[in-house]
Amino acid sequence: MIAANRQYPIISLFLGGKSKKEALRNMLSENSPKRLHCGVAVSLHCDLLSMRSPTPMLFADSDPLASPVVGQERMPRGARELAFNGHVSTTDVHYIIYSRLLVPFVDIVCVFADDFPSLDHVVDFLAECSARTLPSRPDPVRPRLMIVVNANSEGTKESGNEKQWPQQLDPGVLSRAFSAISIVHAGSSVGRLKRLMTAQAEAMHRLRRNHDFLFTATHMAFLFQAAVNHLARSFDEPFDFVSSSRTDGGVPLAVRDRLSLYRGLCRTEGLPDEVIAQSVASALIMDYYRPDMPLLDPQLVFRTFYRAYIAWMPRELDLTEGGWEDLVEASMIEQFGQLKNTGKSSVELRRGLMASQSDQFRRVKSNHLCLYCLFRPAQHPAACGHSLCDLCPQLFGTPAADREFYFTVTPCGHCLSPDPLVIDLLPPTMSPTVVAIDGGGVRAVIPLEFLILVQEHLGKDARLADFVDLGVGTSSGKA
């Protein structure tokens, strides 16, 4: 793809034998016929005509009735071995690959019924796939199922009456995996199948956009690898697109304390929760919706990463009113709408909100907490009391033209003070911070006492341990 980080692929899964092959060959007439025979369990083809479009069409192709290739001694490059508990048949492996890896990622599943020995086989196959699917996607954006029959054959070989199919294909069972089922009489016209497929694909794309569950090709590749790793680890848990979308391992626990510290500071200055919630929500948006992240449903994002932290309340913060987390969630959803509709970045939105709230928030000050992101400790104090962490000068400041890692922040984002704050950052390649205590009984006491004094000076809101990457000691007790 020419711009994988701006293209949103639509993937269809084609399941069947001979007639599926024929349909694929006709639909992908630009592709080399040789490439359509890969001889592996599942192969992926792209529609060359759509590769430059914003929604390239991809086709995963597999034959559920084919005997798997056995006796392959060497694993292909990049392959990952899955360890199964107990006996798993080759048929099971097909079902596992379809239901756990492919169905969560595709938009349309096309089953070519004429390639199955009987209608019962089709029904059993779909019911089994559906029953093994674990819910990974919100209901409306689950893939659509198309059962393709050839109109010329007057239905299937056994029943000859397609109208009975919806009853036999129990929609209750199938809804676990699919959002809609349709039966397509392709007949001899491949054009008709392609038109129907395209219409379904466009509908799915619109739905995914409306439900904020759309991924670029870059996201897809990353998430698919995450799904493979997930399947290797866990058989019972569904793959979670939202929690897998972060590459940084999630939100650190210290953020919970910092967000509650912030709320406490704001309440001390008499600010109402409704206003504080807007500020916190914009910080959450800035944390998750970085430029390279998918625009995922803000409610799902909030509930996956932040709600538990927001709901947590330290004992010393005596705030009994409920509904705080609901206020933050509602504000995050509202601000996400602006992010999506205005095309502004999450940092621009936060900057705009801070400026518009400066009259209310200028009195909120801290030398412990970065008041720009609310997620990291303050490391660069400002004379006005609105300090910054190491990352925020890069987001909110202007870089010096002639000096690397040198930023000027002006005006202050909170009080709009015009005094420039010049920040000289450590380069990211700078060594980590290590505390080494050369002990051996009483010799360790002196540096430990010294550290205690430093900690007392910093106060309880700034833990010395947060500034140290590694602590080591020799016979120094629990340093």
Rounded Cα distance between 26 and 373, Å, is: 54
Choice between 204 and 409, CB closer to Zn ion: 409
Rounded Cα distance between 127 and 177, Å, is: 9
Q: How far is the CB of 388 from Zn ion (least distance, A)?
A: 6
Choice between 54 and 381, CB closer to Zn ion: 381
Q: How far is the CB of 271 from Zn ion (least distance, A)?
A: 16
Say if CB 255 and CB 309 are below 8 A apart: yes
Burial of 203 (0-12, 13-18, 19+ CB in 10 A): middle
Say if CB 99 and CB 129 are below 8 A apart: yes
Choice between 4 and 384, CB closer to Zn ion: 384
Q: ω into residue 411 within 30 of 0, thus cis?
A: yes
Q: How far is the CB of 377 from Zn ion (least distance, A)?
A: 9
Q: How far is the CB of 147 from Zn ion (least distance, A)?
A: 53
Write out the residues near Zn ion by the rule CB under 5 A: 370, 372-373, 376, 384, 386, 389, 392, 412, 414-415, 417
Q: How far is the CB of 306 from Zn ion (least distance, A)?
A: 16
Rounded Cα distance between 329 and 346, Å, is: 16
Say if CB 294 and CB 245 are below 8 A apart: yes
Choice between 160 and 420, CB closer to Zn ion: 420
Q: Find all residues with CB under 8 Å of 82, minimum gap 6, and list them.
A: 231, 232
Q: Which residues pair with 62 in a beta bridge?
A: 15, 42
Q: How far is the CB of 431 from Zn ion (least distance, A)?
A: 22
Whose tokens are 């674990």? That residue is 134
Pairing of strands 108-112, 398-399: unpaired
Choice between 123 and 280, CB closer to Zn ion: 280
Choice between 137 and 386, CB closer to Zn ion: 386
Choice between 7 and 417, CB closer to Zn ion: 417
Q: How far is the CB of 413 from Zn ion (least distance, A)?
A: 7
Reported for 194-198, long-range contacts at CB under 8 A and 24+ positions apart, including other chains, are 194/26, 194/27, 196/146, 197/12, 197/27, 197/108, 197/110, 197/146
Q: How far is the CB of 174 from Zn ion (least distance, A)?
A: 48
Choice between 123 and 266, CB closer to Zn ion: 266
Q: How far is the CB of 259 from Zn ion (least distance, A)?
A: 13
Choice between 125 and 372, CB closer to Zn ion: 372
Crossing angle between the packed helical segments 346-356 and 273-288, to the nearest 10 degrees:
160
Q: How far is the CB of 207 from Zn ion (least distance, A)?
A: 36
Closest CA relative to residue 409, chosen from 435, 426, 391:
391
Take residue 469 and report the two structure tokens written for it: 């990457």
Say if CB 345 and CB 291 are below 8 A apart: yes
Q: How far is the CB of 267 from Zn ion (least distance, A)?
A: 20
Choice between 150 and 387, CB closer to Zn ion: 387
Take residue 166 and report the two structure tokens written for it: 């919806």
Choice between 137 and 376, CB closer to Zn ion: 376
Say if CB 113 and CB 18 are below 8 A apart: no
Choice between 111 and 373, CB closer to Zn ion: 373
Take residue 423 and report the two structure tokens written for it: 């920040």
Amino acid at 7: Q
DSSP for 219-276, written as a single string: HHHHHHHHHHHHHHH-SSSPP-HHHHT-SS-S--THHHHHHHHHHHHHHHTT--HHHH
Q: How far is the CB of 392 from Zn ion (least distance, A)?
A: 3
